[in-house]
Amino acid sequence: MAPAGQVVSLEAQMRLATDVAVGQVIGATPLDGTDVEYRLLTLEPLAGQPDAVLTVIGRAANRRDTETTFHAHRDFAFWAPDGGRAMHNADCTMRQAFLVGSSYLIFAGTPITRRSVEQIAMVDGMIDPDDQWLRYVREQLRQRAAPQRAATSSSEAQRPEYERIGRFIYAFHRFVLRDDLDRKTLAAHHAPTDLVLRAGRLADAFDQIVAGNAAPDAALGATLAEARAVDTLLAAWKADGGARQLPVD
């Protein structure tokens, strides 16, 4: 289980952000034990005043590391409540490994979370302009920096968001009902473990969105795509008798 504070909502991630930048790893120096000093050339400062070259103490890479952009951060695996590239170590700390030459969107100076060191692809020598996480972070930081404007009507200002989430809920339930994703119910009917976990993760994402946590369009789209996929798996399981035994370790 991830320690408390390492899995946070998108809102919390942005609220805690102080120093944010996109940097490219230009060097790595082994230190004592498994520690590695990584040096990243700042390509785009987003918040705070990052140095031209950032220094991050991480660890040596291993085969368990996830080196992925989540398809320019369009995948549900990233936008899920526990999504993100970073994983905690056996001692519950987060010391990440980096690949020399790769670029990352880094939240420094704040508590390290699953989404604190996301890889961003380079396209024709430039930061991928279509990366959905980078787009979201840029927009959120831009709004945070803008002067606060007095709303003439809070209800009118909130209406577009209500309508957007309402359309999401309608579309979601065209694929699968929220009640069909209940972990305990699926487990009680001996659904495969991977289906129970995947359905539960989808249910958590749906609940967070409906509860009012701001979600970008990319997150809504990824969640709807996952709803379609999980519904297909549920239908296949039910058609196969709906009572497979849980696998034995």
Q: Which residues contact 130 (CB under 8 A, 6 or more apart)?
A: 72
Q: For 85, which DSSP code?
A: S
Range of the domain at 191: 155-239
pTM: predicted TM-score of the whole model, two decimal places: 0.81
DSSP-based three-state secondary structure for 32: coil
Among 15, 9, 16, 14, residue whose Cα is nearest residue 208: 9
Question: Are residues 106 and 33 part of one domain?
Answer: yes
Question: Are residues 132 and 160 part of one domain?
Answer: no
Q: For 135, which DSSP code?
A: H
Distance of CA 77 to the CA centre of its chain: 7
pLDDT by residue for the chain (249 residues), tens only, comes to 666 667 888 888 898 898 999 999 999 999 988 899 999 999 999 999 888 999 998 888 877 777 899 999 999 999 998 888 887 666 667 778 899 999 999 998 777 888 999 999 999 889 999 999 999 999 999 888 776 444 444 444 556 677 889 899 999 999 999 999 999 999 999 999 999 999 999 999 999 999 876 789 999 999 999 999 999 999 999 998 765 444 433
The two structure tokens encoding residue 118:
């996301």
**What element of type H or E holds 237?**
helix 217-239
Question: Are residues 127 and 20 part of one domain?
Answer: yes
Question: Are residues 141 and 62 part of one domain?
Answer: yes
Question: By the 8 A CB rule, do 81 and 201 touch?
Answer: yes
Task: Examine residue 245 and state whether it is found in any structural domain, yes or no.
Answer: no
Q: Which residues contact 9 (CB under 8 A, 6 or more apart)?
A: 81, 208, 213
Question: By the 8 A CB rule, do 15 and 44 touch?
Answer: no
Question: Are residues 136 and 194 part of one domain?
Answer: no
Report the chain's C-alpha Rg in angstroms. Answer: 20
Question: Are residues 122 and 49 part of one domain?
Answer: yes
Task: Examine residue 123 and state whether it is found in any structural domain, yes or no.
Answer: yes
Residue where a domain stops, chosen among 145, 180, 206: 145
Q: Which residues contact 3 (CB under 8 A, 6 or more apart)?
A: 88, 92
Count of domains in the chain? 2
